[in-house]
Amino acid sequence: MYVAVKGGERAIDNAHAWLAEERRGDTDIAEMSIAQIREQLALAVDRVMAEGSLYDPDLAALAIKQARGDMIEAVFLIRAYRTTLPRFGASAPIDTGAMACDRRISATFKDLPGGQVLGPTFDYTHRLLDFALAAEGLEPSEAPEAAADMADLPHVTDFLAQEDLIQREPEGSDTPRDLTREPLDFPTDRPLRLQALSRGDEGFVLSMAYSTQRGYGRNHPFVGELRTGKVAVEMDIPELGFAIEIGEAVVTECETVNQFTGSKTEPPQFTRGYGLTFGHCERKAISMALVDRAMRWAELGEDNVGAPAQDEEFVLYHADNVQASGFLEHIKLPHYVDFQSELELIRRLRADAMAGQHQEAAE
């Protein structure tokens, strides 16, 4: 008996109702609040903000809750919401030199003005499951606190720049193109590449960076500096005629110092890779800096060794997890029509081939 597959509206509604039930889970367990997610799954929130390209911890926490912890789904929710927001303008460039750092480390100098600040890091924790966390209600003992040093922390690369040991980056005067408002067009420029990397999938950017370390476009990076903390966001208000602070954002910045042997026209000098993300996403920021550096081969007159990380089309077209997962998962959609046409083709080709074989056998 033939039963047509019909995915009526009711099926969809029922599926969504079931999803809502699954999302809530066992109702004997207390429901999670947005504030709990924001405070206790802060790094997940940060990742969703970074890849969602929207700085709003509460919305990111809501997206994580709605997505049942599926990070790419949460990023997707944020992106779709972001599209609908009106644009009032662009902020002034943030000054990471004036960052109130929670963490600031350099792998290139043992000590430097402002010092090494470890901050709240997993580094040097032993990765042993802490069963004490399984017992609820235990408050951590208070971490010791020093008086805040209000002085600006200079960038490590500034020290190298004083001696001209590191390439100076040209002062960009133009407002960079906005990846979310203009179609991607190749060849790109560095601001566009950095935007794409900053909202790119952490796993993808990490793997690309890792591939450069393993020799696919090696660029000898040192973490010149990694810093995380709050920066002021300022905006020019035309009615006022000057910039005012409109808020604060936590960002993570990584500058790598990379070897460069010099070319015919340039003396040997260090060069930079740059990474910046919303929130505390240092794995992503470091990865981004490595990939950024790898894609700069042309402007620095280096060889293109054919490494994936050097290919801006490859990296930029495949870094976005919302695009990637959408296209990947669309193969779940019905493809009866294309499949049917392939089916007919294969049947016909096979029939022709069989007929040919029979003929040969007969001869």
Partner 1 sequence: MTPLLNVRDLTKAYGGRIGCADVSFSLYPGEVLGIVGESGSGKSTLLNCLAGHLPPDTGEVIFDTRADGPRDVLQMSEPERRMLGRTDWAFVHQNPRDGLRMRVSAGGNVGERLMAVGARHYGEIREQALDWLDRVEIAGERVDDRPAAFSGGMQQRLQIARNLVTGPRLIFMDEPTGGLDVSVQARLLDLLRGLVRQMGLSAIVVTHDLAVVRLLADRLMVMKDGHVIETGLTDQVLDDPQAPYTQLLVSSVLQV
Partner 2 sequence: MTDQAYNFAYLDEQTKRMIRRAILKGVAVPGYQVPFASREMPMPYGWGTGGVQVSAACLTPDDTLKVIDQGADDTTNAVSIRKFFEKTAEVAVTEKTSEASVIQTRHRIPEEPLTEDQILVYQVPIPEPLRFLEPSEVETRKMHSLEEYGLMYVKLYEDISRHGEIATAYAYPVKVEDRYVMDPSPIPKFDNPKMESAALQLFGAGREQRIYAVPPYTKVVSLDFEDHPFDPSKAPHPCALCGAEDSYLDEVITDDRGGRMFVCSDTDFCAGRRAAGFTGEMTNTRPAPVDTEAMA
Minimum distance between the CB of residue 83 and partner 2, rounded to whole angstroms? Answer: 4
Burial class (CB within 10 angstroms; exposed 0-12, middle 13-18, buried 19+) of 106: buried
CB of 314 to partner 2, least distance (A): 8
Site map (CB under 8 A) of partner 1, residues 205-244, x = contact: ----------------------------------------
* Amino acid in position 63: A
Spatial neighbors of 201 by CB under 8 A, at least 6 apart, are 51, 72, 319, 320, 321, 324
Q: Which helix (H) or strand (E) covers residue 45, if one does?
A: helix 42-52
User: How many residues are listed for the chain in this entry?
Assistant: 363
Pick one of partner 2, partner 1, none as the site partner of residue 264 (Cβ within 5 to 8 A by kind): partner 1
Helices vs. strands in the chain: H and E counts, helices first: 12, 4
User: Which residues in this chain contact partner 2 in the complex, by CB under 8 A?
Assistant: 1-4, 6-15, 17-18, 76, 79-80, 82-84, 86, 180-187, 313, 317, 322-323, 325-330, 333-338, 340-345, 348-349, 352
At closest approach, how far in Å is the CB of 29 from partner 2?
25
**Residue 329 · residue 335 · CB < 8 Å:** no
Residue 1: which of partner 1, partner 2, none does it interact with, CB under 5 to 8 A by kind? partner 2
Residue 52 or 229 having the CB closest to partner 2: 52
Asked if residue 125 binds partner 1 (CB under 8 A), the reply is no
Nearest CA to 225 out of 259, 191, 275 is that of 275
> Smallest distance from the beta carbon of 351 to partner 2, in angstroms?
11
**Closer CB to partner 1, 274 or 297, in the complex:** 297
What's the closest the beta carbon of residue 313 comes to partner 2, in angstroms?
6
Of 169 and 344, CB closest to partner 2: 344
Closest CA to 260 of 252, 272, 250, 249: 272
How many residues sit in the footprint of partner 1 (CB under 8 A)?
Answer: 3
Smallest gap from residue 329 Cβ to partner 1 (A): 30
Burial 314-327 (b: 16+ CB within 10 A, else e): ebbebbbbbebbee
Block residue for tokens 């699954």: 22
C-beta separation of 238 from 225 below 8 A: no
Is residue 10 within the footprint of partner 1 (CB under 8 A)? no
Nearest to 257 by CA among 239, 244, 269, 265: 269
DSSP 300: T
Cβ neighbour number for residue 194 with a 10 Å cutoff: 21
Q: State in angstroms the smallest separation of the CB of 296 from partner 1.
A: 18
Binding track over 260-289 against partner 1, x by CB under 8 A: ---xxx------------------------
Q: Which does 158 bind (CB under 5 to 8 A by kind): partner 2, partner 1, none?
A: none
Residues interacting with partner 1, by CB under 8 A? 263-265
